[in-house]
Structure 1
Amino acid sequence: MTAPYRVLFVCLGNICRSPAAEGVMRALVEAEGLADRIMIRSAGTAGWHTGKLPDQRMRGAAQNRGYDLSSRARQVNEDALRENDLVLVMDKQNLRDVSSIDRASQFSEKIRLFCDFCSEHEEAEVPDPYYGGAQGFELVLDLLEDGCRGVLAHIRSTLT
């Protein structure tokens, strides 16, 4: 059996967007029967929330759509870039921050903006809902559901 395909979702603190992406993607992968072929994790560019559960507002919005967000926050590092096949960042600042970890630019081909995989939305970035209201969390989930379908299609095309 071949090694599983590894995807890492990255945002700033790893308590809103990236753990939600992890939860949405995990649900899609499990529904498709691919849980043994695709490994999904998330991380943040900052370590402020390391070890904490996702933001309660994000967990609530996700739970309303049937997603379980139970991962614990962690900080992205060079090993994470090396170990994953695809690193999806939520916004351009995350892209700059993750790229700065990749000092030798050896992983640049696998670091991509998440919204590149969206087909139903025009947004270039997944906005950080942390300082906004409930609608921000719903928009994030809309974008994640759209983009994760695109991510899954991309991964399926690479699985043998």
Structure 2
Amino acid sequence: MSDKQRILMVCLGNICRSPLAEGIMRSKLNFTKFEVDSAGTYGGHVGEQPDNRSIEVARKNGLDITNQKCRKLTVDDFDRFDYIYVMDDSNFRDVTALAPTPEHANKVVKILDELFPGEGLDVPDPYYGGQQGFENVYKMLDQATDAIAKKLQG
């Protein structure tokens, strides 16, 4: 077991929001001290690359997320990760329902709560929208991961 802090980003399909969050978060943390991964609550895209629109908005911002592969959240993730960030209320309900103990459930936080505590804001799913939705999601996640990086790195 390493002494790295482990962060998991979770959305529904692990093809739009959580791969972006993973890529952005990774770019802000020292890889020798932190591990960042992502997963989805729905397993319909397992093994696939992120959505092309997520890949494109990441690339436009200097990040390459093409090596990521979609995976489904598992119960083991609660032991493996120190922090579990979800994108919206639906993800929050699904992830906390899978948590084996209340202590595990306490690891789950809506990512925008890091910026706007207590406001319960969601990162909207851009899947059925156009490119602008992906741009907006990128900006939200960029700001939220800034706050998380600042908190975790002191």
Counterpart for residue 12 of structure 2: 12
SS of structure 1 residue aligned to 2:58:
helix
Point out the more displaced range, 130-139 or 62-71. 62-71
Matched residue, 1:64? 60
User: How many aligned residue pairs are there?
Assistant: 150
Give per-residue Cα distances to partners, 1:33-75, cap 9 Å, x unaligned. x110000000000100000000001101110011111210000
Q: CA RMSD in A?
A: 1.4
Per-residue deviation at 1:106? Answer: 2.9
* Seq. identity, %: 38
Could you tell me how far 1:123 is from its partner in structure 2?
7.6
TM-score calculated relative to the size of structure 2: 0.92
Mapped partners of 2:92, 2:75: distance in 1: 14
Match in the other structure for 2:101: 104
- Which residue of the partner structure matches residue 42 of structure 2? 46
Q: Could you tell me which residue of structure 2 aligns to residue 150 of structure 1?
A: 147
**1:103 Cα deviation from its structure 2 partner:** 4.1
Aligned to 1:86: 83
Q: Which residue of 2 aligns with 1:141?
A: 138
SS of equivalent to 2:47: coil
d(CA) in 2 for partners of 1:155 and 1:131?
Answer: 33
Contact 2:75–2:100 under 8 Å retained in 1: no
Shift of 1:126: 0.6
Unaligned runs of 5+ in 1: none
Q: Give the TM-score normalised by structure 1.
A: 0.89
Confirm whether residue 36 of structure 1 aligns to residue 24 of structure 2: no
Q: Distance in 2 between matches of 1:61 and 1:20?
A: 9
